[in-house]
Structure 1
Amino acid sequence: MSRRFVFVFQSGLIVACYNGYVDVVIALSQCPYLDVNWQDNEGNTALITAAQAGHAIISNYLLNYFPGLDIERRNCHGFTALMKAAMQGRAECVRSIMLAGGDIQARDFGRKMTPKEWALFTGRYETARLMSRLMSNPCPEQFCDSFSLEWPLLEELVAQAQEPKTCKQRLINLLSCCPYRFYINNKVKPMEDGVLEHMVRITTGLSSPLIATACRTVCPSSPPCIGKRRHAVQEILKRQRLAELKRLGPERLNNYKKLFQNSRILLIPREKDRRASLQPQLLNNMAAASTVAIRRASLLPLHMLRRSSVRPGLVVPKVRLCKAPAPSYKPEKLRRNSNQNQLQIPKWDYKMKKIERMQEEERQRLLPLIRRR
């Protein structure tokens, strides 16, 4: 009976998203060589894994702090992160992915169903209802700095209340004030854009006094919207810096460059510089191409930045080339002398001369015997 072993290749980020290790995900976001869109042997990415497991904090962190994240990356079955969250009933993850720009009309490879259809097919009715509400109101205006705290229907409702009422309306109002004498079913359905919904928008809006200043968004002029791709925080801040630099005048821009001039290095060739053999050739090439070479200080090694008091100027590293050994080469093991770390008896001059004289006499004595042979 043969056994079949299935090896699942997963990255550290996918394992952290699967188990809900928030600290590990935050630490991995600082790694510059991490591929956030890496897929395992089933095609699942870190976002798909976190959305399927229902880790809303990790999903939001992936969407906001991992530049280059592909929301629409599919696995081997054609499922996106939004589909996996919808079929598992992860409402918070569905909300986050939809507001980050997830495609709500994408279809899988098998049944050709959308995320909402998958939620209904798997019995996740609350998630499907949430998706319908988000589609009906795709843009939360209260997350924009231009949102007005005034109720737009207030003037219209005040005008209706000030109009003269008929006898029938006054009788209905009188009877509704006496619930113990007459039973009247006066249930009112919640009105769209009503006072309760407006109160929720005010309390969650950026202009609300109930919101702390630490909760301010990095892009208050561009609120999230269904179907609009949201960039990571690093990408938004980079665009804002570029826009600020463009708005600066020429004087401010020159001052900014002078302030951060330490991030650049000016290489000036010297006429006479006692250096390694590579130095004259390097300086000649620099003078032929350009007398100024600019490099980033963060990318330049430290030994290139240090100045030597004995040899001032640019420090050129020495490169030694050697032939690679044969494949069958085995390095010799050096025998360590047991007395290496101990103090040795000094050899005096008169003793060395005595030993040399004895060796010379022995050589003269053996010289006739060697000639006879």
Structure 2
Amino acid sequence: MAAASDDPHLGHGPSEDYEDYEDDEDYEDEEESDSGSVLSDDSVLPDYLREDEREAGTANTLYEACARNEAWTLQRLLEEGVTKEQAMELDINGRNGLMVAVAKGFVDIVYALHECRLLIDINHQDADGNTALMIAAQAGFATILNYIMNYYTGADMELRDPRGFTALIKAGLQGREDCVTALLMHGADINAMDLYRGKGLKDWVLKTGRFETMNRLRRLQAHPVAEQFCESYVPEWPDLRDLVARATASKTASQKLSQKLKDTFTITFPHDPQDNGVMDHLVRITTSIHSPLVATACRPLCPTSPPEIGRRRLTVAELLTRHSRKELEENSVCHSNGSVASASPRSSHSVSLTSCCQEQRESTTAGVKNFMSHSIMRQNSIFPTDCVPRIEVTRSAEPTPKKEKKKKQKGYLEPPIWKYKEAKEEKKKEKKKQEKEKEEQDKKIKERKRKSKKKQSH
């Protein structure tokens, strides 16, 4: 297998320290591929299936429903009611139903288990020391990772496995750029070190050859605040005025000649977009809360404080326990150093959170559902609340008016009439003509019979 050092565009691959680390942990590369490495898998534990999971049929327990990805069965079990022992049923690897669903990427199962989140220990570690957050981070399931951080309360991002790796370091080892970004923007510690080697995120990213992840880290550190998700963001490119002024400024004859020679003899090569250039501006403006592309779907709870590296973001459940629904709908709260503080209400031109039904349940579970996106709810994507309007169907009293044929006007072009249509119309005309002739003959026969009967009667 070609090593990373053989490619001149990649530079040096994984260092000797990283190879020694695998040897110290007795990790054997049986197959010469990335999938054979321990650190490229979701866990060092074997893929274990119990006998009852291999058997066909409907799942009977919560764990079986999670392992088989049976969302309807899981919903039925949750409606009947589950205990903490059922929610925390473990397999031979020490994983509960949530962890198995996260490892296999069952998004619907992770969403459904939110109803019994109080019975599930979100920080439970399996036999290898992985939590559900670690499994999602190193597997690259950014959607599940964001859902756990935003809707499951108490998820510890700084929890470590026996090797001393946090969820952030695990995501960096696997080159999961989106997961690294999500963890950092949610408040993960970028300076955390593993317990044995004393290396941080950047050290392991470089030693494992994850150069794209390193570029993402540099860009995030250059712009640690996502200002486009804040109300104070101005959707205008600051460099545009200077560029327009330079382009429209009058030039002398010598400047025009030198510019023409420069454009003629200069060879352009493909290069990466500039920082804070037009590409960065387009990304910000299309993802901001003021963008017309997302304004109808984006409903931020804290628009006055955008995500920032190193600042912990509170979950939706935590926001609901500390603040009323009215404050959240008016977006009058904001994050501040991991805590929530009051802020000025939203402006009139921003998106409101007024629902179609005023009567809402005040419980925590119902409140969390009100602030979930339509793709997460999955129950009713048209009406996000329980308020479904009644539709009454009545028959119209007046008949539907027939469409009047337009009269042909001279001097205007008309679409051509195809031959098969002409033949079809001629057949219809002949058929109507024959029917009329037949009706006239019937009328004549009836008239003759009537006259003959009169004569016979006289």
TM-score calculated relative to the size of structure 1: 0.59
Which of 160, 169, 176 matches 1:90?
176
Bigger CA radius of gyration:
1
Length, aligned pairs only: 243
The 5 Å alignment of 1:30-109 reads 30-31=115-116, 32-109=118-195
Once residues 241 and 217 of structure 1 are traced to their aligned partners in structure 2, the CA distance between those partners, rounded to angstroms, is: 16
Equivalent residues of 1:219, 1:236 under 8 A apart: no
Are 2:16 and 1:16 equivalent residues in the alignment?
no
Match of 1:128, SS? Answer: helix
Once residues 194 and 239 of structure 1 are traced to their aligned partners in structure 2, the CA distance between those partners, rounded to angstroms, is: 40
Deviations 1:129-161 (A, max 9, x none): 111111111111111122111121223334444
CA gap of 1:168–1:64, structure 2 versus 1, over 3 A, is farther
Structure 1's unaligned 5+ residue stretches are 248-258, 264-373
Counterpart of 1:231 in structure 2 is 314
1:244: Cα distance to partner? Answer: 3.6
CA gap of 1:152–1:238, structure 2 versus 1, over 3 A, is farther
Which of 274, 278, 281 matches 1:195?
278
Which of 238, 247, 250 matches 1:152?
238
Could you tell me which amino acid in structure 2 is paired with residue 29 of structure 1?
H
Once residues 240 and 215 of structure 2 are traced to their aligned partners in structure 1, the CA distance between those partners, rounded to angstroms, is: 29
Structure 2's unaligned 5+ residue stretches are 1-44, 47-91, 333-357, 363-458
Could you tell me which amino acid in structure 2 is paired with residue 30 of structure 1?
E
The 5 Å alignment of 1:142-291 reads 142-175=228-261, 182-185=264-267, 190-241=273-324, 244=327
Counterpart of 1:277 in structure 2 is none
Could you tell me which amino acid in structure 2 is paired with residue 230 of structure 1?
R
Once residues 186 and 48 of structure 1 are traced to their aligned partners in structure 2, the CA distance between those partners, rounded to angstroms, is: 44
1:236: Cα distance to partner? Answer: 2.5
TM-score calculated relative to the size of structure 2: 0.48
CA gap of 1:172–1:118, structure 2 versus 1, over 3 A, is same
Percent of paired sites with the same residue: 47
Once residues 196 and 176 of structure 1 are traced to their aligned partners in structure 2, the CA distance between those partners, rounded to angstroms, is: 25
Could you tell me which amino acid in structure 2 is paired with residue 26 of structure 1?
Y
Equivalent residues of 1:72, 1:103 under 8 A apart: yes
1:164: Cα distance to partner? Answer: 4.5
CA gap of 1:42–1:188, structure 2 versus 1, over 3 A, is closer
Could you tell me which amino acid in structure 1 is paired with residue 316 of structure 2?
V
Match of 1:198, SS? Answer: helix
Structure number with the bigger relative contact order (C-alpha 8 A, sep ≥ 6) is: 1
